[in-house]
Every structure is written in structure tokens, then in C-alpha cells.
Amino acid sequence: MIKHILTLVWNKKRNNVLMLLEIFVAFLILFAVFTFTIYYLRIYQSPLGFETEDTLLVNLAMDQEMDSLALLEMRQQLRREIESYPEVEAMSFLSGITPFSGSMWSWGNDDNGFYMQTAIFPTDEYYQKTADIELAEGRWFEEEDYTGTYPPVIINQKLKDTYYPDKPVLDSLFTLDGENKIVGVAKHFKYQDEFSEEIPLTFLLRPLHHNDLNSIQIRLLPNTPAEFEAKLNEGLARITKRRDFVILSLDARRERTSRLTWIPLIAGLSICGFLILNIALGLFGVLYYSINKRRAEIGLRRALGATKGEITSQFTLEVFLVAFAGMLLAAVLAVQFPLLNIVEIPANNFYWSILATMLLISLVVLGCAVTPSRQAAGIHPAQALHEE
Amino acid sequence: MLNLENISKVYRTDTIETLALNTINMKIEKGEFLSIMGPSGCGKSTLLNIMGLIDEPSEGRVVVANQTVADYNSKATARFRNEHLGFIFQSFHLINDLSVLDNVELPLLYRKVSSKERRRLAEEALEQVGLHNRMRHFPSQLSGGQKQRVAIARAIVGRPEIILADEPTGNLDSVMGNEIMDILLRLNEQEGTTIVMVTHDERMAQRTHRLVRLFDGSQVQ
Amino acid sequence: MLRNYFKLALKVLGRNKFFTGISLFGISFTLLILMVITAFYDAEFGKNPPLSEKGEMVIVNRLQKELVRPDTTWTIDSTLMDGLMAYDSTYEIGEAVNSTSVSNPSFKFLDDHLRGLDGVRKYTFFSPGHDFNVFLENRKLSVAAIYTDAPYWEIFDFNFITGAPFGATHLRDASQVAVMTRKLAREYFGDEEKAINQEIEIGNRSYRVIGLVEKASTTSPMVAADIFLPVSTMEDQDLEGRGFLGNCNAVYLAENARQMPLIKSELSSRVAAVAMPNPEEYNRMEIIPVNFGEWYASELIDQDDPAKGLQQIRLVFGLLLLFFVLLPTLNLINMNLSRIMEREAEIGVRKAFGAYSGTILYQFVFENIIITFIGGIIGMILAVVVLYLINDSQVLPELTLGFNLRVFAYSILICLCFGIVSGLLPAWKVSRLQIADVLKSNQL
């Protein structure tokens, strides 16, 4: 039977080519949107590794020309001031690299015997408490670390898995900023945004006099009223003698950065939804027409002893085979993306996307083909053979 | 072999009720070559369709092989049509998108026959009608007589006991019509196939065993 | 004749309501989406105030200090990415290992080195991206400020609702005057009518409001702000800071578009000639002057060469748009084909009575344009609703998408193209039908 339908489809190729083309294009569009959707949703699922609730972030506009002593003094003053507020649970100094800021800093070298690239996140010994970071092993920075022989670093699990998959890393040395000692491994730290893949990352311990510590992250007690910000604003302005700094909620910033991905994703998906609906309706209309045009053929087949079911499945299969050919062609093209590494997205996202697209298009095509086919199968053969 | 008992057929539209067949009783014996004649619109084709189980009578019953046909839409009826009946139409009804061979194979498609066997039987049938050299052609490349011979090959490929032919020579000139008639007669004589033929060509009808005349839905002879 | 066609077209559409409905759905939604995209494109790329002259702008917003040392072997990449496409492609290890520091140029740097270029009509130095928290009776307002000079107002043609911009005298005297958006006036003073000559507290200074403007509908940080202040009132460190890196931008308005490459190359060579004060830290400096499109691209993707970035973005968006339009078009062609084939007999009769193929072709294309325009009208109504909803929901807080005359003109053009393209193939096919085939067509 399949062979017969294939023959039929092949002999009618000129009528089917348009539908094939349509399915081909639809497949590619859906494939593109699904790939990104799957990719981003999977990343979205993976944990951030830190807390954003009840957290404020301050970007200070620091004077570039202050010397380290003046900087140290001002920061100590800031720390005393902020920690004196009863609403504050913990605070940390950060560089301009703060969660969801869009800024990133990365170092790469091949001093460890292989090329290694890691994002850098400079911070202080309080950051574990401020951001509620869970460690997989080891410990967070301590005050004594400032005077240790080797500058300490904490890496994330991703760095360990990428570069030291089966070696113990705790207390071992590796070369980054000179020789560094790894004192801890953080489970996760996906700080760029919720839709960016976690990358190998290293926390650096920054002494207070360092000139890049221009941001402060503050963890508040739950349910701190908004008035606190005014108080904080005054305190900061008094100490820094400037007012052009921003206080923002980390949660709000997280939402805002995520929206930059959500909006195009949702827009893409709704456009796809519309396209599918459009194709489905169009396909239904065309099939309804073209199957009805073959009433006489259906009548003949019925007269020759085909059952209703056979007619329905023949016509459905005929449509599906054309669609399948279109999908197959498009899939061959789509597979090139992971094979040739055209876009830097892990390959399995592409394969899932191909699968999802195939499934969706098949469902739509079958849905659109079954109804007209069934209706056509119900034609009375005597009637169909005589109306000419 | 095939009995029609008190068959009536009424066509209803919103306003008019047309009586196409009026209590027809007919018995067709095995090996018979029967022709049905009558003017246009006398119900000949309707009668043939009812015999072919592709149309349902309004009243009366059809008995084939000692069984009354109950449900015209059932699988069993479809199977029966497939295995025991063969159809030939005035306008050939070949599928343009299929080659001659594929067209002839069509009835076998709805049985459990291997594709090799299908092919063999179809070639054989085409040989019988003298068209085995045109297997790869498409219907649009054939003349009217050739098309009808393909249709005959399709009707006999499943070795049915009864062939129902609806004006098989109606669209053909007399030379071709005679050729088709010769094939049908040969089938009847050599294979013993029962044939019921609707025609309004007196000369064709004269060549058959028995002649039934219909007028306004009733049997007159 | 045309009237005849028109009547016939309407009759044909009415005859097969199911097909007409599906066609209209497809056309109207496709055009709706195209119109929303056009509105978005127009808001971001159209020459609308205050960016009417964007075509002749050369923008300097990134200064890069580099340390080129051929013997060391490690790379520092500091990458600032404000865009949504956050893929970082900084895995290059050049033979010459370098350390780079990228930021905006400082005011002092611009003032010292980048004045008085040839082929420039006007130019402005300004400092965007100053955010202030303003506390008002337990309410916090986040106010984005831009410190500007006087030519800024000639280059960026803001719509002034009332008042006027500050001028050279205000700048010279460092007068504490401000231009603010209607939106901020409403939020800060409660009533925009009363805003002029009122004082607003920004930082620790008090500014007198002298002008009200409409908020710029764009994501461009060069003009998207709530308040504009004289650059001479900027914090002393920012104004006088001796470092090369700071927080300023420069925009040069070329005499004509042909001058732009010359301005760019002069800027580059001027920066390259600046002596580095501390060669152990950084020994080379460069800027990449960009035009508006390139600037936009550099915000979106991380490409060292902004011109290439713009090309890539154009390519990707062009392809996406093409594919998006291709699908409904194919769908429509497919349906039109079925619809027209249904009328084979009519065509046969027309031809038999002497219509020649060309007439038939025109007739069907015309019919298709009619249905496309009906769909287009529905799509336009939907677009107005959708644009209103997008603006209202603040999904894109920086943008106000408008359905203006230009968008309307684009839409008409889109309709026409869509109608002709989707009608031509079926019409052509049908106009070639053989009369005899059509009239007898009693085969399977």
C-alpha cells in the first residue's frame, strides 16, 4: 500500500511541490525558534547559585584619582556605616562586575599546561553570607587569607568539571594571577543573567584598598520597608560626597535582564503559533478542496472494494508522505547546524528541536488531513461515479 | 448467483421524488451474459449499481451467494465487492496519475497480495486485453479503446465471478466497440465469467445471451 | 472594466466563505506582524526627533587603552555587554598579548584632543548614564540624567513642549538650569503645567526647569533620559578628571554623508597620536568611531568591527523576515491555486468568448490585491490595537510605538507586494489553461 501511495505522490509531484516547500520552510522556522526556546529554557532551569531576594546593589561613582589609602578609609567608613543599620544582614564590596550587570571580565592563559579561560568575580570575605552561596567543598574566604602565602581563589563547580574533572582541586595551586590556592568550590554561580549558560568562574579576594571595588551588595532582613533606601542614600552621600550613584533592587534587575530574553522568546513563539495556525487552516482548506476534487477516484476505489478506513488512511498517508518528505529535506539541512558547529549552542538542543518540530508538524498535518479524508471516504460510490 | 427481489429505488430532493426503479425482480445465473437496455434515465445504471452493491435500494433485497446484503457500508460488503465483482464504466474511470499497470493493480491493493504477485496478475490481465506493451504508459497517452481495455483488465485482474459493465462501448466508435465486445464475449465463454452489461446499442445487446429492457424504472421484457 | 473586476472580486470572495476566511486570517495576521515590526523598526531606526539627523552622525563612545607586549603570554579580556545577545567571542589569543581597558572617553580627553575637525557641521560632548535616586515623600524616583553642552540641542532635535534649551551663556556660567521630560515633570511636580521655573533637587544641587520635552522614543542612551543638565555643572572629578577614560560621548554631525569616513579616519588618527602618560600600564590607544547603525549593532552583539556587526545583524534579521513572509505567501499561493482551479470552467468560458491570457492574469491578480487590501485593513486595525497594547503594557518601556504616516505607507507597500506575489503564480498558471481541457475535464 505504501508503495502505491508513494507512486501516486511521486506521479503528482507537480501538485505536491508547493505543499512540500511550505512544510520545508515551516520546519526551518519552527526549528530555529524551538532550538533557541529549548536552549534558553534549559539554561533558565539551571540554578543561579545565589540569592537575589531582599538585596540591594549600589554602584558608587568613585573618584578615579583617589589613592589607595583614601579609598581604604572611605570603604572602612562605608562598611561601618552600613553595618550599623539594624536592617542590614550582610554586605560585600564588589567590582563593577555585579550580578546581572551585563559586565563580565575574563582571563585566559595556558600556564597550567592547557588553555584555560575563566570569568573573574572580585569580592570580599563576606560575600558568601551576602549572596547566600552554597559551597560544594572547601570554605569561603577568611580574613587571614589576605596575609596568606598564596592569594586564595574560589572556583565554581563548572570550572572544576571543565578543567579538572577527576582531580581533587582543594588546596591545590593553579596559575591565574600569579600562583593561586583554591580554597573552595561553589556549587553554582550564574551571575550574568538567568538565560546565560554558567561559565567557568573564579572568585578573587580583593583587599579594601583596591581601586575597582566600586559596588556594594547589601542583604537586608526580610520585609525591610522601602524608606530604608532613603536612609541608605543619605548615609552613602555623606561619606562619598557624591550623589550620582544608584541604589537598585537585585530582584528587579534580575527580572529586567531576564525580560530581554523573555520578550524575543515569547514574540518568536507567538509568531510561530500564528504561523502554525495559518498553515493548519491553509492546509485544511487546500486538502478539503483537493480531496473533494478526487471524488470520482474515491468512488472508484470504493467500487473496487476499498473500505472507508482504507480510503481515509490512504489519503491521510498521501498528505503525510508529502509533508514527511518536506520535513526530511529540512531536517537534513537542520542537522548541519550542530554538525558544522555554525552556532555555539550545545548539539543536543538542535536534536531535541528537530524532534519537537517533526512531532508538531506531523500532528498538524495529520490533524488537517484526517477530517477531509474521512469526509471524502463517506462519499457514496454510485453518486461519485456519476456526477460529471 | 445474484438475485434481486422487489427492488425499488426512490431519489428524493427537497421538492421532487423520483422513482428510478419500481419493484424489479431479477435472477442472474452463473455464466450468463446479460444485457440491460432502455432509454436514457430509465434506471439502467441505478440497477447496475445496486447489483454492484455500490448503491442501496430503497426497498427490496439483494441476495448474493445465498446471503442477503445487509449493510452496504460495511467492511464485509467492501471485501465482497473486491473479491467477487468487477466494474467497467462508460467513461473508463482510470486514475490519470497512475500508470496503466498501477491502474490495473488497483483492486489487488485492497487484498492481501504481495507486490510481486500483483504485478504478475496485472501483466497477465493486460496481456489478455492485448495491452502488455503499454504497461508503462499513462491513461492520457491512450486512445479511448485502449483506455477501455485497461479498464477491462482492471475489472478481471481479481478474477471476479461477475463483471458489471456500464455502457462499456458508449464512448467508442463501432470498430473499437466491437473489439471491446469481443473481449467481453471471450471472457464469458472461456473463463465462464458472468457479465451484466448496460447498453443502448441494439447490435451489442443482440450478441449477449439474454436481454432485459427497462422503461421508466420497470422491467418490460 | 475595473469596476467590473471589483464587483466580481467581491462576489467571488463571498461565494467561498471558508476559503475567504482562511485567506483573510492569514493575510491580516501576517500584515499585522509586519506592521508591528515596521513600527518597531521606525521607532528605533526611523529618522524621528530627536534623532532626525542620525544619518550624518559620527559617534565616539568607546576609547580603548591597550598594552601590547609581545613576550608575555596571558590575555585579559574585559568585555562590557549591554545587549541581549550575550555571547562572548573573546577567546582569541593573539601573538601579541595585550591587556585592554575599554570605556567611554573622559570629558577632558574630548576637550583636549577631539575639537575642531574638518567637515563637521556641529558637534557635541555630553555625558549620559547618570542615575540619581530622588526621594519624594517616601517615593523613590530613579532619574536618568544626561549632562550636555549647548550644541547638543541643535544636533538632537527634541520637541519642546514649553520653554527652551540651555545655551552657551548657561554653559559658561554653569547655571543650574534643566530641561526635563514631560513624564518626569508629571512624576516630580504632579502637574506638568507648573514645572517651568520650578526647582528640582538633583544630586546635592538645585536646578531650575527651563524647558519641557517629550521623552525620546528610542533605546539610544544618547537621548533616552529624564532630565538634561548643563555639562559644566557635572561633578568636578568628572569634568576635570585627567584620566583618558571617563563617562562622556561625542557626536559629530557631518556636513554631508560623504564626509563621514573622513571624519572617522581623522578621529582615529588623532587618538592614535596622543602620547600615553604611563606606557608600562598601557602603551597604545584607539577609538572606533561609528555611525548610528554601527553603534546600534555594537550594542546588540559583541563584534570588534562595528561595521561587520551591522552587516551580520542585517543578514540575520533579513533572513528571518524573509522566511517569515515566505511561509504565509506560500500558504496563500497554495490556497489561491485551489481557489482558482475551482473556477476552471469560468476561465474556459471566458477564454472561449475571446478573453486572452493577459486579461485573465490581470483579473486574478487584481482580485488577489483586493482581498489582500481587505486583509490589510483588518491587519491595520489589529495593528493599532496591538501597538496600543504593547505601549500600554510597558513591555518596551523605552519605546512608544506609533502608527504614523510612514508606517502606514510601508504597510500599503507591503500589502501591494504581498497581493501581487501571492496572486501572480496561480494567475499565471490558470491563464495558461487550454480551453478544450478545461471545458471537457471530465476525467479523474
Ordered DSSP codes for C162-222: EE----HHHHHTT--EEEEEHHHHHHHHS-GGG-TT-EEEETTEEEEEEEEEPPP-SS-TT
Asked if A129 and A37 sit in the same domain, the reply is no
Average pLDDT over residues C18-34: 85
Are A202 and A272 members of one domain?
Answer: no
In angstroms, what CA-CA distances link C292 with C130, C194, C222? 22, 36, 11
Say yes or no for a CB contact (<8 Å) between A8 and B97: yes
Q: B30-34, B128-132, C320-324: lowest mean pLDDT where? A: C320-324
Output the pLDDT for position C87.
40
CATH number of the domain where residue B110 is located:
3.40.50.300
B91/C442 Cβ within 8 A: yes
Q: Please report which confidence band the pLDDT of residue C7 belongs to, taking 50, 70 and 90 as the band edges.
A: confident
CB-closest option in A8, A307, A388 to B78: A307
Q: Final residue of a domain: which of A192, A216, A244?
A: A244
> What percent of chain C clears pLDDT 70, i.e. is strictly above it?
88
Asked if the structure places residue A51 within a domain, the reply is no
Residue C443 pLDDT > 60: no
* CB atoms B80 and A305 under 8 Å: yes
Contact A207, A152 (CB under 8 A): no
- Residues C267-295: tens digit of each pLDDT: 999 998 888 887 877 788 888 899 888 88
Higher pLDDT pick, A190 / C82: A190
pLDDT band at C67 (very low <50, low <70, confident <90, very high): confident
pLDDT in tens, A370-380: 988 888 888 88
Confidence of residue A152 (pLDDT cuts 50, 70, 90): very high
**Apex CA C316: angle with CA C315 and CA C320, to 5°?**
115
Give CA separation, A157 vs A136, A139, A181, A205, in Å. 7, 13, 16, 18
| Lowest mean pLDDT across B70-79, B118-127, C192-201, C316-325 | B70-79
Task: Indicate yes or no: CB of A244 within 8 angstroms of CB of C74.
Answer: no
Inter-chain residue contact B73 with A308, CB threshold 8 Å: yes
Residue C230 scores a pLDDT above 70: yes
What pLDDT, on a 0 to 100 scale, did the predictor assign at position A363?
95
> Considering its fold, how many domains does chain A have in total?
2
3-state secondary structure chain A: CHHHHHHHHHHCHHHHHHHHHHHHHHHHHHHHHHHHHHHHHHHHHCCCCCCCCCEEEEECCCCCCCCHHHHHHHHHHHHHHHHHCCCEEEEEEECCCCCCCCEEEEEEECCCCCCEEEEEEEECCCHHHHHCCCEEEECCCCHHHHHCCCCEEEEEHHHHHHHCCCCCCCCCEEEECEEEEEEEEECCCCCCCCCCCCCCEEEEECCCCCCCCCEEEEEECCCCCCHHHHHHHHHHHHHHCCCCCEEEEHHHHHHHHHHHHHHHHHHHHHHHHHHHHHHHHHHHHHHHHHHHHCHHHHHHHHHCCCCHHHHHHHHHHHHHHHHHHHHHHHHHHHHHHHHHCCCCCCHHHHHHHHHHHHHHHHHHHHHHHHHHHHHHHCCCHHHHHHCC
What residues in A contact C330, CB-CB < 8 Å? 18, 21-22, 25
Closest-CA distance, A70 to chain C, in angstroms, reads 15
Distance CA C429, CA C418 (A): 18
Kindly determine whether residue C243 and residue A64, on different chains, have CB atoms separated by under 8 Å.
Answer: yes
pLDDT band for position A63 (cuts 50, 70, 90): low
Q: What is the pLDDT of residue C93?
A: 43
Question: CB–CB of A160/A249 below 8 Å?
Answer: no
Q: Does B80 touch chain A (CB under 8 A)?
A: yes
Spatial separation of the C-alpha atoms in residues C411 and A284, rounded to whole Å = 28
The confidence score (pLDDT) of residue C86 equals: 38
Condensed to tens digits (0 to 9), the pLDDT of residues A347-363 reads 889 999 999 999 999 99
User: If you average pLDDT over residues B159-173, what whole number do you get?
Assistant: 88
Least confident of A313-327, B147-161, C130-144: C130-144
User: What residue has cell string 480551453?
Assistant: C435
Q: Residue A189's closest CA among A49, A287, A333? A: A49
User: Average pLDDT, stretch A264-285?
Assistant: 89
Q: What pLDDT score does C84 carry?
A: 40
Q: Are residues A170 and A309 in the same domain?
A: no
ipTM of the prediction = 0.80
pLDDT of residue C440: 52
CA distance C73 to A111: 8
Residue A350 lies in a domain: yes
Structural domain boundaries enclosing A170: 61-244
Question: With 70 as the cut, is the pLDDT of residue A290 above it?
Answer: yes
One domain, residues A108 and A233: yes
Shared-domain flag, residues A342 and A378: yes
Strands A103-109 and A116-123: antiparallel
- Give one DSSP letter per residue of C273-302, joined into a string: HSPPS-TTT--EEEE--B-HHHHHHHHHS-
Q: Residue C437: its pLDDT value, please? A: 61
Domain final residue pick, A202, A220, A244: A244
User: Is the Cβ of B103 closer than 8 Å to some Cβ of chain A?
Assistant: no
Q: What is the mean pLDDT of chain A?
A: 88
| Contact at CB, A104 and C81, closer than 8 angstroms | yes
For residue A55, is it within any domain? no
C84 touches chain A (CB under 8 A): yes
Name the residue in chain B with its Cα closest to that of A294.
B95
Q: What is the pLDDT of residues C129-164, one digit of tens each?
A: 888 888 787 777 888 899 999 999 999 999 999 999
SS (H, E, C) C206-219: EEEEEEEECCCCCC
Q: Looking at beta carbons, which residues of chain A come within 8 Å of B98?
A: 7-8, 11
| pTM of this prediction exceeds 0.90 | no
**B117-148 residue pLDDT tens:** 999 999 999 998 888 899 999 998 898 889 99
Residues of chain C with Cβ-Cβ distance to B148 below 8 Å are none
Q: Which residues does chain B have within 8 Å of residue A388's beta carbon, measured at their own beta carbons?
A: 91
Cβ contacts (< 8 Å) between B139 and chain C: which residues? 443
Q: What is the four-CA torsion angle of A352, A355, A357, A361, rounded to 10 degrees?
A: -160
Taking an 8 Å cut-off on Cβ atoms, the answer to whether A18 and C334 are in contact is yes
How far is Cα B211 from Cα B213, in angstroms, rounded to an integer?
Answer: 7
Q: Are C395 and A193 in contact (CB < 8 Å)?
A: no
pLDDT above 90 covers a percentage of chain B that reads 23
Residue A43, Cβ density class (10 Å: 0-12 exposed, 13-18 middle, ≥19 buried): middle
* Residues A135 and A178 grouped into a single domain: yes
Residues A212, A279: one domain? no
Cell of A283: 492546509
Q: Distance from CA of residue B159 to its chain's centroid? A: 13
Q: For chain B, how many structural domains are there in total?
A: 1
- Closest CA in chain B for residue C444: B95
| Dihedral sign computed on CA atoms, order C124, C57, C315, C387 | positive
Counting as contact any 3 or more CB pairs under 8 A, the partners of B are A, C
pLDDT at C381 over 70: yes
For residue B117, the enclosing domain spans 2-219
Q: Classify residue A267: in a domain, yes or no.
A: yes
Range of weakest confidence among A303-312, B105-114, C174-183, C434-443? C434-443
pLDDT at C305 over 80: no
Residue B221: pLDDT band by 50, 70, 90 thresholds? low
A31 in Cβ contact with A354 (< 8 Å): yes
Q: Three-state DSSP class for C147?
A: strand
Q: In the complex, which subunits touch A with 3 or more CB pairs below 8 angstroms? A: B, C
Whether pLDDT at A226 is above 90: no
CB B117 within 8 A of CB A317: no
Eight-class DSSP state of B207:
T
Q: Are residues A352 and A272 in the same domain?
A: yes
Burial tier of C131 (Cβ tally within 10 Å: 0-12, 13-18, 19+): middle
* pLDDT score for A64: 58
Rounded-to-integer distance, Cα B2 and Cα A383, Å: 23
Instruction: For chain B, say whether C440 makes contact (Cβ under 8 Å).
Output: no
Q: Which tens digits make up the pLDDT trace of C326-348?
A: 888 888 888 888 877 777 777 77
Chain B hits for A380, CB-CB cut-off 8 Å, are: 54-55
